[in-house]
Structure 1
Amino acid sequence: MNKTVNINLAGIFFHIDEDAYLKLQRYLEAIKRSFTDSQGRSEIIADIEARIAELFSERVQNEKQVIRIKEVDEVISIMGQPEDYLVDDEIFEDEPQPTYKAKSAPSKKLFRDTENSYISGVSSGLGHYFGIDAIWIRLAWILLIFGAGTGILLYILLWILVPEAKTTTEKLMMKGEPVNISNIEKKIKDGFESVTDTVSGVAKNVSDSVSNAAKQVDVKKGANSIKSSSRTFFDTLGDIIMFFFKILAKFIGIILILIGAATLIALIIGLFSLGVVDIIHIPGLDLVDLANTGNTPIWLVSLLAFFAIGIPFFFLFYLGLKILINNLKSIGGIAKFSLLGLWLLSIIALVVIGIRQANEHAFKEYHIEKTQIPIRAMDTLNIKMTHNEIYNTGFNRSRSNFKLAHDDNGGKAIYASNIEILVKSTTDSIATIAIEKSADASSYDIAIDRAKQINYNFELRNKTLFLDSYLTTDPINKYSDQEVDIILYIPENTVVLFNNSTKSFLNYRKHDGNVISSKSVNHHMRILDNNSECLDCTEEDFELNIDAEGVKINDDGIIINADDSHIKIDENGIKAETDEVKVNIDSNGINIKTEN
């Protein structure tokens, strides 16, 4: 087992194998010896170390990975050996010199060249990247600004997004030159020679004649002054724009942190609340358990929902921190992919649970119980709803209302108000009540078993039929959309009087053989053949509903259909149509149209 060493290379920490460390140390010492008498030695060494650190970072997959001799050899092959080239000032003379050739092909990267800029260096950087003179890029900007009008926005975006080439490595990459020891040394020495040439040029100008010197200095000073003023103005403008963009970014980061933190705290509180459900009663949780027909543990659903919702909001919170804190340490690739995998598993599990829950309502089955009641033609039958103090609907039921409560025997039961009353005429001499029970399940057998276990009661006393306003069933059956339809088959010429308590349990209209609607409550209704008539209705609440072949009369008006004609009479007027004539009589007058 080899020992590992922690090193700090150009401000970046690495774990390196001891043998690899010794080889890297010898390599750097050889480079330093090569530049002992070179001008700008410290700058060259610093840029070389920065480049080596960058190459190591490209090869490290995570923070814990150890750099071995293989990675050191790869970096040395790219940077080159000191003996591969001359390392003194002679390499910058005019005569040809041997140079080191990088093994890897150089690739250009886009940077802003502020050394050759008038505003921000965008044009110079694009010129280096595409291999053309910057003057053509600047002409293109002028055409975009004064032509399409989008040039300013595009320029500002590039100014913000494209980084400036600051280090020697970035300047070499901007021009597509290999980033090795030779080029780093040459680039830095070029900078020193440029400064030397500038100083020499100034000294020479001083020794020239006064008139020529003044003329040259004035021209050069004026040009440099214009360029310097231009750069200063646009640099200041850029700093102002970047300042406001940074403020906006920080504000967005704070918003993301607040949203992410608030959501995570709420999810954690909800998750721990379910953990102490046996100690602290949470109102409404028993109803959730009743609706959980798939019998999936609630704590498991809550945990999966916590991961499915919490992980995206955690990354939202982390993104906000990254925006606010520039040097925030990364959570690492392993943690990121682990959280992503956990999130995907949670989503898949919730989908499976949802499918399982939906499957519990895939089949609906009915169980019908019929009972004759001693009501005959010419009798008067009163119908009322009764309620239970445990489950008091107030006679204003909702088909989605249900609760878990103790019944009269002290046991728990599900109470629900899914009750509907239908009235149909019959030619039988005696009335019949049919209790149609229904429930959902994942199969027909389970559904019909749940339907049979629905408890519903009624009672006839002194020609008054008392109907329960609720149904009950054992909690083991869960809430599986249990329903009870009460179908009353009443002999013709029997009079029925529905109490006001039945109004919400009756259908609002007559249809499919149902001859009594909710509008008929508190009125004596005579049962006719597939219809009914009101015996004590006033003109205001009189209701007529006739639906015979070719004729339909109801609250909407009168409609008469024949083979080749159609007549409709309603509150808007009269419309009559045949194949040849159309007549419309309304408040606007009489309108007659013919095909001819």
Structure 2
Amino acid sequence: MKKTIHINLAGHAFSIEEDAFDRLDAYLKAVKATLGESDEANETLEDINLRIAELFRGVHPDAGSAITLSDVEEIIKTLGDPGDYEAPDDPDEQKEKKETFEPPVRKQLFRDPDNRFLGGVCGGLGNYFGTDPLLFRLLFILATLFYGTSLLAYVILWIAIPKAVTVQQRIMMMGGAPGSENWRRRQTTRNNGTEVMNGILRVLAVVFGVILIITSFVSLMGLIFTFSLTDLLFGTILNHSTWIPELGSLFLLPDQQWGAFIGLALTLGIPMLVIFYLGMHLVFQFKKGGPAFLITSLILWLAGIGLIAYTGVSVASGFANKVDVEERKTLEIPASDTIYIEPNKASLKLGDGHHVFSNDGVSIKRRNNELVLVGTPDIDVIRSEGDFRITIRKEARGKDGERAMKNANMIEYFFLQNDSVLLLDRYFSVQNLAMMRKQEVDVTIQVPEDKEVKIADEFKYLIDID
């Protein structure tokens, strides 16, 4: 491993390998000997040091990496030989030589690795348009908050715009002639912040950053508070002390409940953390840690979306198969000419309890401190040639045929014949520990054509007569 030396060049600290330092020191001494000892020569030498420091920072933005001999040789090739700095006696010749040495460079768009928060896109745009990159950072943050599509635009620019790696690319990124005034002006602007517009932008950035910090912090605390008091909050909304885990068990398996909870926490919480971090960056202008934090946040956010999607697919698979279970029974034909269809008084109690939630004709009610599933059957009365028959079809869904069959068999619905009176349950119920799986009950009553049918008032809006 080569020996490294720590130097200070134009106010910047660098680590440089020993052979590279010897080459640089010899070059600077040769340039100094060429320029002489005048005040103008000292000013030019200071400018050369500034340019070299700027180029070193471009090649090695990480302070922990050492400058190599090849880096020094490339910079010397860019700046020119020491003899190029010699001022000729003839003014016309001097002008011609200066123009030859410092030809104008067409400005090109590069990502600035030395002035970056994430990918250097805003830093590169700032160099290209000659303004503070903070302006573009503010625009991207505002557009992301209000539209969201600017994040995709940033990623596209990150991929499409090349990074300024070599010395020549750094010069092209800055544009103009690689002369002392251009480079010194950029260095002065970056170090001193004397431009009024940049100062205004930084004040606006701090104000906007504070707003982001406060807003995201309050939102994040609100999210944590909401999740911690989910049972109390939704118990109040859904009425009568209904606990969310208890309610969720009717729809989701335990692993699905955890997947939905963690997925929602990540999907909602990560954007708030990112907004908080962006606000901190606008206020304190730190540069390190941005890419790692944002990439990690993106991975966690996508993981949250993935968990929600996986949970959704898993829940949907629980409704994939449908099974019907039929029960048929031939009833005794009464001697009277009229058949009465009335509700079973005992079944009316099934509708008691506090309503919590309804879905697809099945209601969740709290009764005796327990959640129960009850539903309304679909009852049809049709004419037959001579039979008096009742058919009860119970339908439910499940992940597979076996589970769907089990869910259907957990549906309870009863009837009772008392001569000419047919008593039907007003509601069907589902056994405890059953999950909501689109349970339905269809009741078909076949009545002989010579019999009149009378339906109790409680059933008139439920029963269809053909």
Q: TM-score, normalised to structure 1's length?
A: 0.51
Report the residue type matching 2:250 in the other structure.
L
SS in 2 for 1:266: helix
Deviations 1:140-182 (A, max 9, x none): xxxxxxxxxxxxxxxxxxxxxxxxxxxxxx99977632x2xxx
Q: 1-side partners of 2:229 and 2:20: how far apart? A: 54
Report the residue type matching 1:488 in the other structure.
I
Relative distance call for 1:318 and 1:443 in structure 2 (3 A) is same
Partner residue, 2:39? 39
Q: 2-side partners of 1:491 and 1:289: how far apart? A: 45
Report the residue type matching 2:39 in the other structure.
Q
Deviations 1:188-236 (A, max 9, x none): 8xxxxxxxxxxxxxxxxxxxxxxxxxxxxxxxxxxxxxxxxxxxxxxxx
SS in 2 for 1:488: strand
Partner residue, 1:535? none
Q: 1-side partners of 2:31 and 2:297: how far apart? A: 46
Partner residue, 1:342? 300
Cα displacement (A) at 1:497: 2.3
Query: Contact 1:365–1:439 (CA<8 Å) still a contact in 2?
Result: yes
Q: Which runs of 5+ in 2 are unaligned?
A: 110-127, 129-169, 185-194, 232-240
Partner residue, 2:448? 491
Partner residue, 2:316? 358
Deviations 1:89-126 (A, max 9, x none): 5589433586798899933269xxxxxxxxxxxxxxxx
* Among candidates 439, 445, 452, match of residue 482 of structure 1: 439
Partner residue, 1:387? 348
Partner residue, 1:472? 430
Cα displacement (A) at 1:467: 0.5
Residues 1:106 and 2:64 aligned together: no
Partner residue, 1:55? 55
Q: Let me know the Cα RMSD of the aligned residues.
A: 4.9
| 1:224-373 matched pairs, under 5 angstroms | 253-269=209-225, 283-292=243-252, 296-323=255-282, 325=283, 327-373=285-331
Cα displacement (A) at 1:250: 6.0
SS in 1 for 2:337: coil
SS in 1 for 2:271: helix
Cα displacement (A) at 1:184: 1.8
Partner residue, 2:92? 94
Query: Contact 1:20–1:72 (CA<8 Å) still a contact in 2?
Result: no
Relative distance call for 1:282 and 1:464 in structure 2 (3 A) is closer
Partner residue, 1:73? 72
Greater shift, 358-367 or 385-394, is seen at 385-394
Q: 2-side partners of 1:31 and 1:307: how far apart? A: 61
Q: 1-side partners of 2:352 and 2:23: how far apart? A: 83
Report the residue type matching 1:480 in the other structure.
R
Q: 1-side partners of 2:108 and 2:308: how far apart? A: 45
Relative distance call for 1:343 and 1:393 in structure 2 (3 A) is closer
Q: 2-side partners of 1:428 and 1:42: how far apart? A: 121
Q: TM-score, normalised to structure 2's length?
A: 0.63
Cα displacement (A) at 1:465: 0.7
Query: Contact 1:20–1:68 (CA<8 Å) still a contact in 2?
Result: no
Relative distance call for 1:413 and 1:271 in structure 2 (3 A) is closer
Query: Contact 1:304–1:346 (CA<8 Å) still a contact in 2?
Result: yes
Deviations 1:472-502 (A, max 9, x none): 1342x422112222222233323222232x4
Query: Contact 1:434–1:486 (CA<8 Å) still a contact in 2?
Result: yes
Cα displacement (A) at 1:437: 1.0
Report the residue type matching 1:263 in the other structure.
S
SS in 1 for 2:323: strand
Q: 1-side partners of 2:103 and 2:64: how far apart? A: 24
Deviations 1:346-385 (A, max 9, x none): 3334323322222222222211112344453613414125
Partner residue, 2:396? 439
SS in 1 for 2:93: coil
Q: 2-side partners of 1:20 and 1:86: how far apart? A: 24
Partner residue, 1:452? 409
Cα displacement (A) at 1:290: 1.9
SS in 1 for 2:39: coil
Of all paired residues, the percent bearing the same amino acid is 22
Query: Contact 1:52–1:75 (CA<8 Å) still a contact in 2?
Result: no
Cα displacement (A) at 1:25: 7.2
Relative distance call for 1:310 and 1:358 in structure 2 (3 A) is same
SS in 2 for 1:328: coil
SS in 1 for 2:286: coil
Partner residue, 1:533? none
Report the residue type matching 2:415 in the other structure.
F
Query: Contact 1:419–1:484 (CA<8 Å) still a contact in 2?
Result: yes
Deviations 1:261-287 (A, max 9, x none): 333333444556689xxxxx9822222
Q: 1-side partners of 2:70 and 2:242: how far apart? A: 60
Q: When the two structures are aligned, how many residues end up with a matched partner?
A: 381
Q: 1-side partners of 2:197 and 2:82: how far apart? A: 49
Cα displacement (A) at 1:434: 2.1
SS in 2 for 1:296: helix
Q: 2-side partners of 1:24 and 1:457: how far apart? A: 100
Partner residue, 1:192? none
Deviations 1:406-430 (A, max 9, x none): 88xx9x7752325332222223343
Of the two structures, which has the highest relative contact order with CA contacts closer than 8 Å and spacing of 6 or more?
A: 2
Query: Contact 1:56–1:71 (CA<8 Å) still a contact in 2?
Result: no
SS in 2 for 1:95: helix
Query: Contact 2:322–2:404 (CA<8 Å) still a contact in 1?
Result: yes
Cα displacement (A) at 1:328: 3.4
Query: Contact 2:325–2:394 (CA<8 Å) still a contact in 1?
Result: yes
Relative distance call for 1:24 and 1:494 in structure 2 (3 A) is farther
